[in-house]
Amino acid sequence: MINKLQSLFYIYSSTFFSFLTSLYLAKQLGDKLYGFIALGVAIGAIVQIVINFGMDKSLLREVTSLDKGEDVNSVIASFICKRLIIFIFTSLLISSVYLFLFFTRENEFENYALALLIGYIIFQSLLGLYPKGAFEYIEKISTQNKILFLERFLIFIFVYAFFELFGSSNILHLVFLMVLVRVISISTQLKVIGVFNSLHKNIFLNLKPETIGGGYITIALLFNSLIYYGMQLIVPLSHGLDEVSSIGVALQFCLIVTITQTQVCRYLNKSIFLDKFKEHLNKKIMQMFFLSIPLALLYVLAIHVCKEFYLVDGYKNLTSHSYFLAVWLVLLGPGLVINQYVIAKKLDNIYMKISMCSSFLCLFISYIISTYSEVYLISLSLLIPHCVSMLVQYMELYRSEYEKVC
């Protein structure tokens, strides 16, 4: 019990400092320049899923099939190398795009902002190198949580010192410093799980194509990221980066709420009773629904307080976005329960197809609203696909249960 509470403490603390860093940057940079940060977060989140590419799931599958005499660390090291190769390739591709844009634009601010954007995308993409699957296998996930907590804490301290103590105005130096902290964090994690001890061996023998990828779930996660970050990708096309800033801050506030809902959902679903499927599913859906209502109200209150007393200038549609996102948070709780039941019943193929359809629906709604309507309605592009996805998954669960009975 104590270990679980410690893990929760480190998870929430890491999220809190990450959120605090984003909020502080939003205050210091202003809505125009922070729009590049928000866009970098969105693109980086999608890129990190590509870099990870389901290797945590593949790693667990490979390790459990090893004979007793085989070296586990060499297999783990090979998976890290695969991620590193994809990361290097992705970073080079992103940097090439930056260089092309840099030499084809003459505006000094645009060049500066593009450099900031590319740097932040690479910073976010480093998340894909976190060896979470390896820590789960060696049962030291709490150790990783502690390392991540120290990383997020140091980044916040450096960001604060950068502005308040040194009064520096070169944001690119700050991004470089943040990347450096993350590289040290990842290197420390690899040292803890013993990857460096296996690098001298012929680990590339383990670089088999079939070990890359986590199947339908990975593809579903990739499309789900488009649902969550789709607004931030579409809005700049018609309304500029100041509106992306408002959405970015609103979604940053959502993080702590969604982590709370995920932890509660894991507790409720710690044993999924498939023999009394209908009774337990409906009960847990209602429990999560009523638990999510006060969390959503606190979310709206926090947005109003932040807007009134902290983010004085800019971020004009921040509170409007919060109302739609609060409704989404209320419905997200039941959606998490349904989603875990879908995975438990091994409906991975269905989950992937639903995620793909939802992401396309989200991007389509985002484009229509951003082109023909008020920008504060853009949050509906997150709410509507979630409702459709939740309903279809719920119907698929009952259909699969009916087929099982028949």
Q: What tens digit of pLDDT does each residue of 333-356 get?
A: 888 888 878 877 777 778 888 888
Mean pLDDT along residues 113-122 = 82
Q: Are residues 207 and 238 in the same domain?
A: no
Nearest to 122 by CA among 110, 132, 114: 114
Lowest mean pLDDT among 91-95, 168-172, 355-359: 168-172
Q: Is the pLDDT confidence value at 149 over 50?
A: yes
Q: Are residues 187 and 65 in the same domain?
A: yes
What is the reported pLDDT for 212? 47
Mean pLDDT along residues 156-174 = 79
What is the reported pLDDT for 297? 92
Mean pLDDT along residues 1-28 = 78
What is the reported pLDDT for 205? 47
Q: Are residues 238 and 193 in the same domain?
A: no
Mean pLDDT along residues 224-232 = 78
What is the reported pLDDT for 209? 45
Q: Are residues 289 and 184 in the same domain?
A: no
Mean pLDDT, all residues of the chain: 77
- Structural domain including 137 reads 1-214
- Whether 265 is in a domain gets the answer yes
Mean pLDDT along residues 136-157 = 83
Q: Is the pLDDT confidence value at 7 over 80?
A: no
Residue pair 252/23 in contact (Cβ under 8 Å)? The answer is: yes
Q: Are residues 157 and 25 in the same domain?
A: yes
Residue pair 280/272 in contact (Cβ under 8 Å)? The answer is: yes
Mean pLDDT along residues 290-294 = 90
What is the reported pLDDT for 235? 76
Q: Are residues 194 and 142 in the same domain?
A: yes
- Whether 225 is in a domain gets the answer no
- Whether 353 is in a domain gets the answer yes
Instruction: For residue range 244-263, list pLDDT tens digits in order.
Output: 888 888 888 888 888 888 87
What is the reported pLDDT for 400? 75
CA distance 135 to 286: 34
pLDDT-derived band of residue 274, with 50, 70 and 90 as boundaries? Answer: low
- Whether 223 is in a domain gets the answer no
Q: Is the pLDDT confidence value at 34 over 60?
A: yes
What is the reported pLDDT for 211? 46
Q: Is the pLDDT confidence value at 169 over 80?
A: no
Domain boundary among 182, 214, 246: 214
Q: How much is the CA Rg of the chain, to the nearest whole Å?
A: 22
The number of distinct structural domains making up the chain is 2
Question: Can you list the pairs that 227-230 forms with residues at least 24 positions away whose Cβ atoms lie under 8 Å?
Answer: 227/355, 227/358, 227/359, 227/362, 227/382, 227/385, 227/386, 228/45, 228/382, 229/41, 229/42, 229/43, 229/45, 229/46, 230/359, 230/362, 230/363, 230/366, 230/381, 230/382
Q: Is the pLDDT confidence value at 289 over 70?
A: yes
Q: Are residues 254 and 398 in the same domain?
A: yes
pLDDT-derived band of residue 124, with 50, 70 and 90 as boundaries? Answer: confident
CA distance 65 to 146: 29
- Whether 229 is in a domain gets the answer no
Q: Are residues 243 and 160 in the same domain?
A: no
CA distance 171 to 379: 29
Lowest mean pLDDT among 14-18, 32-36, 193-197, 331-335: 193-197
Q: Is the pLDDT confidence value at 87 over 60?
A: yes
HEC string for 183-251: HHHHHHHHHHCCCHHHCCCCHHHHCCHHHCCCCHHHHHHHHHHHHHHHHHHHHHHCCCHHHHHHHHHHH
Q: Is the pLDDT confidence value at 154 over 80?
A: yes
Q: Are residues 253 and 149 in the same domain?
A: no
Domain boundary among 163, 180, 214: 214
Mean pLDDT along residues 366-388 = 82
Q: Are residues 386 and 248 in the same domain?
A: yes
- Whether 200 is in a domain gets the answer yes
pTM of the model: 0.77
- Whether 245 is in a domain gets the answer yes
Q: Are residues 210 and 282 in the same domain?
A: no
Q: Are residues 251 and 168 in the same domain?
A: no
Of all residues in the chain, the percent with pLDDT exceeding 90 is 3
- Whether 227 is in a domain gets the answer no
Mean pLDDT along residues 84-108 = 74
